[in-house]
Structure 1
Amino acid sequence: MNLSLIVTKTVSALLLPPLNLILLCTIGLLLHTRRPRLGRAISAFALVTLAVISTPAGALLLVAPLEHRSSSLMSAQHAGAQAIVVLGGGRIRNAPEYGGRDTPKPIPLVRLRYAAQLYRETGLPVLVSGGAPDGAAESEAAIMARSLREDFSVPVRWVEGGSDDTRQNAVLSAAILQAAGVQRILLVTDAMHMPRAQTLFTQTGLDVVAAPASLRSHSPLQATDFLPSDEGISRAHYALHEWIGLAWNAIRPR
């Protein structure tokens, strides 16, 4: 694992829930001796916010605005695309049930399943994108390509295995696709990730048709969605990561 990834993950942990709110609550407690009212207010805000976004219903406050920025793909056949691009999202290392081989995490596996459906609808060639920022010998793209072939019987035309983040996904994938004469793509990633990914891919000059998977905000709420759970905090963590990424992309030079 390279130093850049370690620094990135450390900063992310500090900025994202639950650690950011735990640290904020701690700051409030430290201020309590000198500024009691301010300290109590900060701690109370942190705890209430943590309680709210720890529920799936509360997490929707962060999730829904992201997902509503891209619509579900109604007809892949009429999108005019020339290729399907699927983005990686992590691996399970040394999975014993697969003979010790790495396998996609649940998030990219959902993306691969949707990409397989789009392939069957359109017959378009598939590109998978994802490197090995954790220093593994095999890229995420290679693992995804194997899963598409073995689990979904879908051939993969291009494997982009050099990228470490979404920006590099876009730049390196665009170079491969444009060399092959591909200009318009179906982009497959999570609905929460789609606004940032679509922006970055569009900046490369590609015409991007969003094909979002894992839409969370379209499911009707149930009573249990108002209870704190690991699902709630996980969604809030993911969504806030994307909001920070969008803000960073807006101020960062291309």
Structure 2
Amino acid sequence: MFVIKKMIGGLLMPLPLFGLFACLMLLLAFKGRKSALFLSTLSLIVLLALSTPFIANLIIQNNEPASLAFNALKHPKIDKIVVLGCDINPNSALSSNNQLGNCALTRLVEGVKLAKHYPNAELIVSGGGYKNTTNSGLMYQTAISLGVNKSRIFQNPKAMDTGEEAKLLASKLVDFKVALVTSVLHMPRAKDLFNAQGIEVVTAATDYHNFTALPWSKQFIPNAHALLVVTQYSHEVVGNIWISLRRWIDPEAL
């Protein structure tokens, strides 16, 4: 079920969705259907537009509020710091930090920063993986290399998505002051899933973007990073729809 969910979700992202649609329409166009040629052209135009920093900014500008970032002045005490997993690139020839993707590394840096600010807090690194390598394992090794005592770190290596992370960690977080570290676009969904398990969290969002800082000469040129951010946003939209569907079918599901 998990693999099927990930496959369907992946195909609904902008690049595969519009790319496959365009290919299908072009195939039909070769059979003389002008409407297919029009739709395939439109699909490619939409894909290129979503890849521009200007459009990407319009999509995310109201979905990355600074209020989700952590403010230490408002929280004199934190008991648990939960860092959610993200992308990894397993390669045993590399150090642990070089096997963490940019998203995972950004989250971990925030977690380590909080761990040093709150020396009595437990650092919880979460996330499964593949090829016998997990998010939590790589984060654990990297956090130690960054100066966090291993006795303060707890791993959660079995969770394959945010829903599982919330469920598996719930019993460990009840009645504690918890800081939740994840990407800003992912934070609302993550917070909702932890709240559903009875865990109130303090948000510590990372991975902010600001395409308005780019000069106008680059605002309308398709950019791989812009498409990546739109894809991340699309992933959250699909994820929220999936949660709503699961809860509609079974209110106790997530």
Select the residue among 101, 108, 113 that pairs with 1:105. 101
Is 1:85 aligned to residue 82 of structure 2? Answer: yes
Q: What's the counterpart of residue 168 of structure 1?
A: 164
Residues 166 and 197 in structure 1, CA contact (< 8 A), matched pair in contact too: yes
Residues 62 and 240 in structure 1, CA contact (< 8 A), matched pair in contact too: no
The letter of the residue matching 1:13 is G
1:28-66 deviation line (CA, Å, top 9, x unaligned) = 335545753x43442233122111111233222333333
Instruction: Give the Cα separation in 1 of the matches to 2:184 and 2:241.
Output: 17
Is 1:141 aligned to residue 136 of structure 2? Answer: yes
Q: Do the aligned partners of residues 4 and 44 (structure 1) sit closer, same or farther apart at CA in structure 2, a change above 3 Å counting? A: same
Residues 82 and 123 in structure 2, CA contact (< 8 A), matched pair in contact too: yes
Is 1:231 aligned to residue 228 of structure 2? Answer: no
SS at match of 1:92: coil
Residues 119 and 125 in structure 1, CA contact (< 8 A), matched pair in contact too: yes
Q: CA deviation at 1:193?
A: 1.0
**What's the RMSD between the two structures over aligned residues?**
2.6
Q: Do the aligned partners of residues 69 and 118 (structure 1) sit closer, same or farther apart at CA in structure 2, a change above 3 Å counting? A: closer
The letter of the residue matching 1:39 is A
Instruction: Give the Cα separation in 1 of the matches to 2:189 and 2:237.
Output: 9
Give the TM-score of the pair, scaled to structure 1.
0.84
Residues 114 and 213 in structure 1, CA contact (< 8 A), matched pair in contact too: yes
Is 1:249 aligned to residue 239 of structure 2? Answer: no
Q: Do the aligned partners of residues 40 and 69 (structure 1) sit closer, same or farther apart at CA in structure 2, a change above 3 Å counting? A: farther
The 5 Å alignment of 1:1-254 reads 4-5=2-3, 7-30=4-27, 32=29, 36=34, 38-68=35-65, 71-75=68-72, 78=75, 80-98=77-95, 103-123=99-119, 124-132=121-129, 134=130, 136-153=131-148, 155=150, 156-178=152-174, 181-182=175-176, 184-217=177-210, 220-222=213-215, 223-253=217-247, 254=254
Residues 107 and 181 in structure 2, CA contact (< 8 A), matched pair in contact too: yes
Residues 97 and 142 in structure 2, CA contact (< 8 A), matched pair in contact too: no
SS at match of 1:28: helix
Structure 2: give runs of 5+ residues left out of the alignment.
248-253
Instruction: Give the Cα separation in 2 of the matches to 1:8 and 1:62.
Output: 25
The letter of the residue matching 2:187 is M
Structure 1: give runs of 5+ residues left out of the alignment.
none
Q: Which moved more, 1:234-243 or 1:19-28?
A: 19-28
Q: Do the aligned partners of residues 61 and 217 (structure 1) sit closer, same or farther apart at CA in structure 2, a change above 3 Å counting? A: same
Residues 9 and 238 in structure 2, CA contact (< 8 A), matched pair in contact too: no
SS at match of 1:186: strand
Q: Do the aligned partners of residues 95 and 70 (structure 1) sit closer, same or farther apart at CA in structure 2, a change above 3 Å counting? A: farther
Residues 56 and 235 in structure 1, CA contact (< 8 A), matched pair in contact too: no
Count of residues in correspondence between the two structures: 244
Q: CA deviation at 1:90?
A: 2.6
Deviation >6 Å, runs of 4+: none
SS at match of 1:65: coil
Instruction: Give the Cα separation in 2 of the matches to 1:97 and 1:127.
Output: 23
Q: CA deviation at 1:114?
A: 1.1
Q: Do the aligned partners of residues 173 and 79 (structure 1) sit closer, same or farther apart at CA in structure 2, a change above 3 Å counting? A: farther
Percentage of pairs with the same residue? 26
Q: CA deviation at 1:221?
A: 3.2
Residues 126 and 135 in structure 2, CA contact (< 8 A), matched pair in contact too: yes
The letter of the residue matching 2:43 is A
